[in-house]
Amino acid sequence: MFRPARRGPTPPGTNAEDIVVAVPPLVPARPSNAGRPVLLTVASMAVLVLLAGAAGLLPGPVALAVGVGSAGLCASAYLVRSALDIHHADGTFVACRGAGFVGMGALATALTLVVPGWSPPGAVTWLTAGLAVATGCYVLGATLLPGAARNWAVRLRRAFDGLGLGVSLGFAAYLVPPDGQPSPAALPAVLIAVGGVSIVTVVVLRARPRPVPAVWCAVGAALVLVSLAALAEVMALGVTGPAVPLLGLPMVAGLAAAAGGGSRRGLPVPPAEPRNPDQYLASYPLLGIPAAVGVIAAVWHLLTGPGFDTTGIVFGLVMVTVLVLRELLVVRDIRRYAGRLRVAEAHFRSLVAGATDLTLVLDERLTVRWQSPAAARLFGLCDAEVIGRPFGELIHPDDAGDALAVIGSVLAGEHEGGPPVLVSARLRDGDQIWRDTESTISDQRAVPEVAALVVHVRDVGERRHLERTLHRLAYLDQLTGLANRRALMRDLLAARRRAGQPGTLLVVDLHGLAEVNDARGRAVGDAVLTEVARRLRALTGGEDVPARLGGDEFAVLTPESAVPAYALASRIVAALAEPFSLPGAQVRLHTSVGLAELAGAGDPDEVLRHADLARQRAHQLGRDAVEWYDPDVELQLQRRMELERQLAGAAGRGELDLVFQPVTGLRDGRPAGVEALLRWRHPELGTVLPEEFLPIAAALGVTAELNEWALDAACRHLRNWTGGDDEFWMSVNVGPRELLAARFPEQIAATLRRHGVVPDRLVVEVAETWIAEDVPAIVAALSGLRGLGVRAALDDFGSSQTSLTHLRRLPVDMLKLNAALAGDESEKAVLEVVVGLARRIGLDIVAKGLETPERIERAMAAGCRYGQGTALAGPAPAERIEAYLESHRAER
Q: What is the pLDDT of residues 501-558, one digit of tens each?
A: 788 999 999 998 888 888 888 888 899 999 999 999 999 988 899 999 988 999 999 9
Sign of CA dihedral 178, 184, 190, 194: positive
DSSP state of 582: E
Q: Give CA angle at 470 (467, 471), nearest 5°.
A: 85
| Domain ranges for the chain | 28-271, 354-466, 481-629, 650-891
Distance in angstroms (rounded) separating the CA atoms of residues 790 and 782: 9
Q: Does residue 616 surpass a pLDDT of 80? A: yes
% of the chain exceeding 70 in pLDDT: 83
DSSP state of 869: S
Q: Do domains 481-629 and 650-891 have the same CATH topology?
A: no
For the CA atoms of 723, 729, 731, 732, the dihedral, rounded to the nearest 10 degrees, stands at 100
For 101, 144, 145, the CA distances from 140, given in Å and listed in that order, are 6, 6, 9
CA-based radius of gyration for the chain: 60
Cβ pair 803, 834 in contact under 8 A: no
Q: How confident is the model at residue 209 (pLDDT cuts 50, 70, 90)?
A: low
Q: Does residue 261 surpass a pLDDT of 60? A: yes
Q: What is the pLDDT of residues 233-245, one digit of tens each?
A: 787 777 777 777 8
Architecture of domain 481-629: 2-Layer Sandwich (3.30)
Q: Which residue has the higher pLDDT, 544 or 63?
A: 544
Distance in angstroms (rounded) separating the CA atoms of residues 410 and 423: 11
Query: What CATH fold (topology level) applies to the domain 354-466?
Result: Beta-Lactamase (3.30.450)
User: At what angle are helices 30-54 and 248-262 packed, to 10 degrees?
Assistant: 180
Query: What pLDDT is recorded for position 734?
Result: 87
Distance in angstroms (rounded) separating the CA atoms of residues 769 and 776: 15
Q: Which residue has the higher pLDDT, 212 or 390?
A: 390
**Overall average pLDDT of the 356-374 stretch:** 86
Sequence-ordered alpha helix ranges (H) in 412-521:
461-475, 485-497, 513-520
Q: How confident is the model at residue 857 (pLDDT cuts 50, 70, 90)?
A: confident
Q: How confident is the model at residue 166 (pLDDT cuts 50, 70, 90)?
A: confident
Distance in angstroms (rounded) separating the CA atoms of residues 673 and 527: 55
Distance in angstroms (rounded) separating the CA atoms of residues 187 and 175: 12
Q: What CATH number labels 650-891?
A: 3.20.20.450
HEC readout, 790-820: CEEEEEEECCCCCCCCHHHHCCCCEEEECHH
What is the rounded average pLDDT for all residues in the chain?
Answer: 79
Q: Give CA angle at 420 (416, 425), nearest 5°.
A: 125
Distance in angstroms (rounded) separating the CA atoms of residues 274 and 20: 6
Most confident of 184-188, 431-435, 534-538: 534-538
Cβ pair 863, 835 in contact under 8 A: yes
Among 34, 5, 35, CA closest to 19: 5
Cβ pair 589, 574 in contact under 8 A: no
Among 414, 416, 401, 406, CA closest to 455: 406
Give, for 712, the enclosing helix (H) or strand (E): helix 703-718
- 425-439, 496-510, 671-685, 801-815: range with lowest mean pLDDT: 801-815
Q: What is the pLDDT of residues 75-96, one digit of tens each?
A: 888 887 777 765 544 444 344 5
Give, for 196, the enclosing helix (H) or strand (E): helix 187-206
**Overall average pLDDT of the 582-589 stretch:** 79
